[in-house]
Copies of this chain bind each other. A is one copy, B any other.
Amino acid sequence: MEGEVSQCRVEEALGIVVGKWKPVIILYLLHEGTKRFSELKRSMPGITQKMLTKQLRELEEEDIIQRVVYPQVPPKVEYSMTDYGRTLSPILEAMHEWGTHHVLHKQNMGIVEKQVK
């Protein structure tokens, strides 16, 4: 009742999307559809297999992505967004857009500082 911040559900959404790789994975699957493990890995230079596996497992756990294993050798595993996962799209796109503006905003602030000095 008295100015206390409670029941902040931002963390719920944030927890799913944060990390160096999760937003990249989600945006990639949103835009490119179904992809297999090796394709994901190739599209993210710098990520280790361990990291990729971990991120994918966590997203699967939260019902954001779907993992389909084909029982064949060499193995084939496909990943795609769930319908539920796709509901994250507006948030991700909004952040992407805001981020793009923010880069410019920081540049402008830099110029202003220099002029004032």
Residues of chain A having any CB pair with chain B under 8 Å: 3-5, 8-14, 16-18, 20, 23-24, 27-28, 32, 39, 42-45, 62-63, 84, 87-88, 90-92, 94-103, 105-106, 109
Contacts and interface: CB of A to CB of B under 8 A. Distances in A.
A109 to B, nearest CB: 6
A103 B5 contact: no
SS of A interface (majority): helix
Given A63-B105, A91-B91, A9 B100 contact: yes
Nearest to A109: B63
Contacts of A106: 62
Given A43-B3, A43-B4, A63-B105, A99 B27 contact: no
A88 B8 CA distance: 16
A28 to B, nearest CB: 5
Contacts of A42: 3
A12 B13 CA distance: 16
B9 A44 contact: no
A14 B95 contact: yes
